[in-house]
Amino acid sequence: MKLNCLLAVSVLALGAGLTPAAAVDLRIGFSVDADTLDPANHRNRPTETIIRNMFDGLLTRDSQMKVVPEIAESIVQVSPTEYDFKIRSGVKFHDGTEMTAEDVKFTLDRVVQEGGMDDGQTSPRQGLMGPVEKVDVIDGNTVRITLTEPWPILPAMLPNQQIVSKAFVEKVGTEGMATQVNGTGPFKLAEWRKGDAIIMERFDDYYGGSPEIPPVGPACVDRAIFKVIPETASRVAALLAGDVEIITDVPPFSVAQIKANDGTDVMTVNGTRSFFVAMNTQGEIFDDPKVRQAAAHALDKDLIIDKILGGNAQRIEGILSPDAFGASELPAYEHDVEKAKQMLAEAGYPDGIDVTLDVEGAFKDDAEAVASLLAKAGIRAKVAVGESAQLSEKWRTAGKPKSGDLYFSSWGNGSLDPFDIFTPTHRTDDRGNSAGYSNPEVDRLLDEAAVEMDSDKRAALYREAELIINADAPYLYLWVPQEIYGVSKRLSGWTPSADSRINLHDACVD
């Protein structure tokens, strides 16, 4: 009996030794839930951040924003309007089927073509593909993209498009794509608890990702979980308690608290979003350049960056981030309250002006800081908080006359190319031109730069346009904030990216 007991204990011990190790989870405290899981049916950067861990594209970006091949093995520019992409072999979808050039063509057609989605709607991402005319399969593993005109930033825009399975889309339709995933990315969807969490599992048959972003192979962790935690204080508390390994949207005032905790730290990277105040150039006050220039002199940007943003931003004198292609040093409107008052008086406002500054609720504090500084020069701005949709309708409806005074807002530029931010915010009647600004010479320069293939000539065109708008001052150009992340010291292999992508393929948890 003793021998039997000893054998039983030995068997139990051996069984315990064979028990698989606990799954390693990487948890991200994320401020918002995804809008959809369909790569073609949104224009939302947080949604894309989640999606891109389950889907790969022809090209991608490394953490330094360099465009590198991903599903594409190589890219050849055949002519100014034709690009050939050789597709990597052995890339599998999560259902085990092999991806083909036909899937690539189907994916891009679905985005580019009018009414290209199966329910007849046009993809909201169509505009991100510019003058793409058609996509053809040249042979079994080569896809050709043809443009209607030269478009030098095509490679920079392709990381925004993730490849889907033609067969899967035809099976589940646009409605099914909203909640189901069959991608080629390092993680596959396990469960979406809407409003709570998106749970992903490692895809063990992953082809490895871009060879230019080592290490190549399956993901490091077993599961990646995006936990939806809208409240800032709750996200910080979850990080400090060890409940998550990464948190997004860390406010500057929480940086010291996170750094002081033994198990956590802060990572930062220059963002790609430029903040500004649009001045209604179509109105009765800010149609005068002298009034706009007075406002520029009234604002102490450095003070706000230091005191409100904790130094976690870089001031700008034009719309472009200092890291953007074509960005150049511009004359600064130095802070000078007396000069601002004098210019207002010369413009016919010796007693100052009373105006309204529109803003979304999330940026109310920043807008109030701007308003308090403008007031010292006699520009008395009442801050009015509005809903995003209502403010977009008021300020960003192309061709619609502007009806407000000032609008505190921003514009993201994930490509870090002027085409993606300079043109929409400054070209006459373009979709982001909330100042109602119109200058035929600026329009000409932006149009020429959009198709110029010589990078030096293209940069010179943007430089010329920047100097014009710097003098015209249709906006108060404010700053580019840094993206601030709180991280666990158990995390390794992960670096934040300026395009806000949280690439979890290489991230490990000790």
Contact 268, 424 (CB under 8 A): no
- Whether 430 contacts 423, CB under 8 Å: yes
- pLDDT for 1 beyond 70: no
Q: What is the pLDDT of residue 7?
A: 35
Phi, psi dihedral angles at 171 (to 5 degrees)? -80, -50
Taking the C-alpha atoms of residue 347 and residue 285, their distance in angstroms, rounded to an integer, is 9
Q: What pLDDT was estimated at residue 13?
A: 37
Whether the predicted pLDDT of 94 surpasses 60: yes
For residue 498, the model assigns a pLDDT of 85
pLDDT at 10: 37
User: Residue range 3-25: average pLDDT?
Assistant: 47
Phi, psi of 93 (to 5 degrees): -80, 165
301-337 per-residue burial string, b: 16 or more CB within 10 A, e: under 16: beebbeebbbebbeebbbbbbeebbbbbebeebebbb
Residue 357 has pLDDT above 90, yes or no: yes
How much is the pLDDT for 483? 93
> Does 5 have pLDDT greater than 60?
no
Say if residue 20's pLDDT is above 80. no
User: What is the average pLDDT score of the chain?
Assistant: 93
Domains and CATH numbers, the chain: 25-263+489-509 (3.40.190.10), 273-483 (3.10.105.10)
Q: How many CB atoms lie within 10 A of CB 45?
A: 16
Residues paired with 264 in a beta bridge: 488
In this predicted model, which residue has the larger pLDDT, 112 or 119? 112
Task: List, for residues 399-452, the tens digit of each pLDDT value.
Answer: 889 989 999 999 999 889 999 999 999 999 999 999 999 999 999 999 999 999
501 or 180, greater pLDDT:
180
What is the rounded average pLDDT of the residues 18-31?
79
